[in-house]
């Protein structure tokens, strides 16, 4: 959360910073700011509440700089307003700092060192920049020594990505990180820092990693890295192949609709990448490591956790290995008794989720083997796990995840088939995954082609109610959880995903006249039971809707979806639910892509 960008060198910085911030807006969008310096004695600080467009509108032609830092905020300490927006700066207006993360001991630092300082903001960030200034002005330290001292004083549990400027060394950006993501971008005559590669991709495709507890000094023609205990580090740059145009919205009003539509082509791409001849193409070393496992632990948050729930039964069915799925923020602090030979699978679209990374840090301490399934190559979770599989979904910009969910499940299925085949499990050997995924790609397209009908259903049933329920059994329940998350996060309808049999054990008390209850029905064994549970709610006034596989459908079903293999139904049953959420949000006139209080990349725990 929060996006950082910085640039220094032979290019005008303002447009680079604004462009970078627009690409980072998915990380937080409650306020934004830039500090730029023209390296000729003039500097400018501009901050605004709200979106990057507000900040852009406030920048006039006089604002010029060759170096600068920028920030888009998702508030943690202090309400979203101009004063709390970053860059935060020291009382003498010499040091400027942008920060992503949380400084756990900021109150103690303030108490111990800065009692006499008047603080403008409520942020933890201001404490850091005031403290650097204190060590420079009171104890005559140079800037680097002062920053290193502050970094050593920050509690190691804290998370931070910092970019700091000193107006007396206007060509230099000081950079450090712990837990929060940050990358260096290397260009011709200028260098950059950014929260992700995409924020710098219009300028360069050459990047350098920063590890935790490193201080990086970025100058126009030079980048130096040292550890907090002052050991110089040398690191090779890497290049990233990224199509910047893939982030264009094209004719779509919102990214979310584009990304829902893209799911069929993502399925086709995954088939080409991983199943060119039908047999999965998966790294042998990864499969060899997984062969030793007696239990697969899938770790994820939010939608990725839900993708794990759908994957669990695929792994168990095709590999015969016991598989469990865990919410990362829970597993990090309280996990079940682990098996003797665990293997960890991290699901993370962004590859940056702090809660999931916390689990990976612990897994690495125990030297347990791990894999990250992610959309972002070289992301933190990808770099730090033993193996990575990419989901090939292309950039997902809308805060509500759609194509990453289906792509994650497809990659889980590909991996499960590969592992099952290696174990000579006949269910895996016989599983026609290539043709199923191609069939699913067509099925998704058929659903998205019929989106007008779904828009009308959303307008009729979901525009007014405060509450809604998705229900289902087994894997349909796991889809109900994801469907409800989609609806609540972008339309603000209080929605729950429920095991349909469990509703009558208490929650049915919430059913009122016209409360929408949407049943997901794709499994032969449980279809009749879920229908009975729907009727129980209808008898109490609910407006019932259904998303049903064709072979199980009846005359008055609401949305009928193509038949696919029972293990893979989440890939298709979620699509109408994504569209229902989209059109409900759209109908309410909300910003579908940037729902309130949320950010796409959750880099605080």
Residues that bind ligand F6R (CB under 6 A): 301-304, 348-350, 353, 356, 400-401, 485, 489, 602
Helix (H, G, I), strand (E, B) or coil at 605: coil
User: Which residue among 2, 49, 258, 594 is the active-site one?
Assistant: 2
Q: Where are the beta strands (DSSP E) in 319-369?
A: 322-327, 342-348
125/353 with CB nearer ligand F6R: 353
Sequence-separated (6 or more) residues with CB below 8 Å from residue 283: 387
Smallest gap, in angstroms, from Cβ of residue 326 to ligand F6R? 13
Radius of gyration for the chain, computed over Cα atoms and rounded to the nearest angstrom = 25
By beta-carbon proximity to ligand F6R, the closer residue of 187 and 332 is 332
CB of 560 to ligand F6R, least distance (A): 25
Residue 80 CB neighbours (<10 A): 16
Q: Which residue has the tokens 């792994």?
A: 315
Closer of 373 and 545 to ligand F6R (Cβ): 373
List CB contacts of 528: < 8 A, sequence separation 6 or more.
none
- With a CB cutoff of 8 Å and minimum separation 6, the contacts of 153 are 105, 109, 131
End-to-end Cα separation, the chain, in angstroms: 10
Closest CB 369 distance from ligand F6R, rounded Å: 20
Q: Which is nearer to ligand F6R, 121 or 382 (CB)?
A: 382
Give 43's strand partners.
37
Of the pair 174, 582, the CB lying nearest ligand F6R is at 582
Tell me whether residue 488 is one of the annotated catalytic residues.
Answer: no
In the complex, minimum distance from the CB of residue 478 to ligand F6R, in angstroms, rounded to a whole number: 14
Decide if 600 is catalytic.
Answer: yes
Instruction: Write down the least CB distance from residue 605 to ligand F6R, Å.
Output: 12
Measured in degrees and rounded to the nearest 5, phi and psi for residue 86 equal: -100, 160
Q: Report CA dihedral (453, 456, 461, 462) to the nearest 10 degrees.
A: 100
Q: What's the min distance (Å) between Cβ of 396 and ligand F6R?
A: 8
- Kindly name the residue from 11, 47, 451, 600 that is annotated as catalytic: 600
**Comparison of 102 and 521: residue with beta carbon closer to ligand F6R:** 102
Query: Nearest approach, Cβ of 305 to ligand F6R (angstroms)?
Result: 7
CA 178, CA 100: separation in Å to the nearest integer? 10
Residue 184: count other Cβ atoms within 10 Å of its Cβ: 24
Taking each helix axis from N to C end, the angle separating 124-137 and 106-113, rounded to the nearest 10 degrees, works out to 30
- Give the Cα separation of 225 and 236 in Å (integer): 11
Only one residue has tokens 């039908």, namely 278
Residue nearest to ligand F6R (CB): 302
Sign of the torsion angle spanned by Cα atoms 118, 123, 125, 128: positive
Which residue, 13 or 374, is less far from ligand F6R as judged by CB? 374
Q: Which residues are catalytic?
A: 2, 600
């Amino acid at each position: 959360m929060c996006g950082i960008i910085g640039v220094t060198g032979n290019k005008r910085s303002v447009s680079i910073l604004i462009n970078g911030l627009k690409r980072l807006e998915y990380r937080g969008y409650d306020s934004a700011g830039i500090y730029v310096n023209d390296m000729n004695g003039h500097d400018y600080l501009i901050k605004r509440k709200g979106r990057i467009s507000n900040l852009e509108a406030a920048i006039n032609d006089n604002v010029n700089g060759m170096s600068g830092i920028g920030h888009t905020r998702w508030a943690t300490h202090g309400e979203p307003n101009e004063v709390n927006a970053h860059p935060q700066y020291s009382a003498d207006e010499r040091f400027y700092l942008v920060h992503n993360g949380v400084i756990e001991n900021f109150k103690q630092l303030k108490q111990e060192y800065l009692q006499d300082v008047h603080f403008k903001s409520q942020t933890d960030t201001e404490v850091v920049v005031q403290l650097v200034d204190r060590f420079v002005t009171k104890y005559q330290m140079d800037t680097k020594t002062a920053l290193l001292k502050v970094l050593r004083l920050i509690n190691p549990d804290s998370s931070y990505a910092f970019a700091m400027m000193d107006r007396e060394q206007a060509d230099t950006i000081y950079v450090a990180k712990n837990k929060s993501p940050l990358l260096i971008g290397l260009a011709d005559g200028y260098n950059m820092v950014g929260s992700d590669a995409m924020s710098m991709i219009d300028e360069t495709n050459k990047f350098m990693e920063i590890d935790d507890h490193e201080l990086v000094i970025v100058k126009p023609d030079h980048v130096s890295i040292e550890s907090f205990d002052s050991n110089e580090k040398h690191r090779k740059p890497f290049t990233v192949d990224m199509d910047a145009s893939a982030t264009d919205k094209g004719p779509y009003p919102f990214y979310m609709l584009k990304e829902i539509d893209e799911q069929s082509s993502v399925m086709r791409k995954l088939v080409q990448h991983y199943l060119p001849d039908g047999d999965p193409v998966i790294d042998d070393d990864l499969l060899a490591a997984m062969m030793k496992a007696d239990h697969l632990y899938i770790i994820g948050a939010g939608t990725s956790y839900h993708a794990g729930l759908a994957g669990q039964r695929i792994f168990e069915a095709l590999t015969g290995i016991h598989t469990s799925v865990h919410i990362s923020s829970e597993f990090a602090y309280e996990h079940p008794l682990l098996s003797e030979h665990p293997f960890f699978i991290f699901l993370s679209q962004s590859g940056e989720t702090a809660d999931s990374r916390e689990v990976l840090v612990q897994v690495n301490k125990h030297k347990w083997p791990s894999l990250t399934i992610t959309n972002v190559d070289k992301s933190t979770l990808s770099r730090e796990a033993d193996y990575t599989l990419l989901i090939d979904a292309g950039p997902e910009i809308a805060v509500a995840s759609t194509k990453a969910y289906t792509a994650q499940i497809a990659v889980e299925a590909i991996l499960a088939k590969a592992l099952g085949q290696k174990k000579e499990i006949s269910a895996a050997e016989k599983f026609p995954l290539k043709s199923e995924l191609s069939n699913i790609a067509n099925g998704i397209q058929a659903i998205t082609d019929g989106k007008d009908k779904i828009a009308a259903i959303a307008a009729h049933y979901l525009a007014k109610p405060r509450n809604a329920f998705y229900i289902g059994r087994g894997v349909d329940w796991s889809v109900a959880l994801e469907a409800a998350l989609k609806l609540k996060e972008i339309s603000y309808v209080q929605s729950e995903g429920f095991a349909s049999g469990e509703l009558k054990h208490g929650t049915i008390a919430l059913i009122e006249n016209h409360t929408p209850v949407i049943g997901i029905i794709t499994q032969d064994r449980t279809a009749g039971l879920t229908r009975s549970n729907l009727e129980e709610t209808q008898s109490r006034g609910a407006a019932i809707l259904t998303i049903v596989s064709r072979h199980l459908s009846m005359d008055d079903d609401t949305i009928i979806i193509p038949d696919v293999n029972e293990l893979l139904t989440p890939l298709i049953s979620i699509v109408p639910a994504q569209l229902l959420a989209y059109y409900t949000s759209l109908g309410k006139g909300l910003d579908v892509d940037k729902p309130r209080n949320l950010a796409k990349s959750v880099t605080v725990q």
